[in-house]
Amino acid sequence: MSYTKHLLSLLLVMITFTGFSQNKKGDSFLSITASPFPTTNSDRNDFGIIAKVGLEFHFSNKVSFQGSFFSSNNVLFKDDSGVNINSYGFVPSVHYYFVNTAKLNVFGQLGYGFGYEDLTRSYGAIENSALTIFSVGAGANYKLKEKLYLQLHLPYFNAQNITIKSSVADGIALFLGFNFKLN
- CA 178, CA 163: separation in Å to the nearest integer? 34
pLDDT for 45: 87
Tell me the residue type at 105: N
Angle at 67 between CA 31 and CA 71, to 5 degrees: 70
pLDDT at 120 over 80: no
pLDDT for 40: 79
- CA 58, CA 8: separation in Å to the nearest integer? 31
pLDDT at 1 over 60: no
Q: 75 falls in which pLDDT band (50, 70, 90)?
A: confident
DSSP state letters, 94-156: EEEEEEE-SSEEEEEEEEEEEEEEEEEETTS-EEEEEEEEEEEEEEEEEE-SSSEEEEEEEEE
Pairing mode, strands 126-143 and 83-100? unpaired
Mean pLDDT of 133-153: 96
Q: 122 falls in which pLDDT band (50, 70, 90)?
A: low
pLDDT at 31 over 70: yes
pLDDT at 129 over 70: yes
pLDDT for 17: 41
pLDDT for 35: 93
Mean of the per-residue pLDDT values of the chain: 85
pLDDT at 76 over 60: yes
In terms of phi and psi (left: phi > 0; alpha: psi -120 to 50; beta: otherwise), the region of 124 is left
pLDDT for 118: 86
Q: Is 17 helix (H, G, I), strand (E, B) or coil?
A: helix
Query: How far lies 56's CA from each of 64, 88, 137, 159, in Å?
Result: 7, 19, 16, 22
pLDDT at 183 over 80: yes
43: CB partners within 8 A, 6+ apart: none
pLDDT for 15: 41
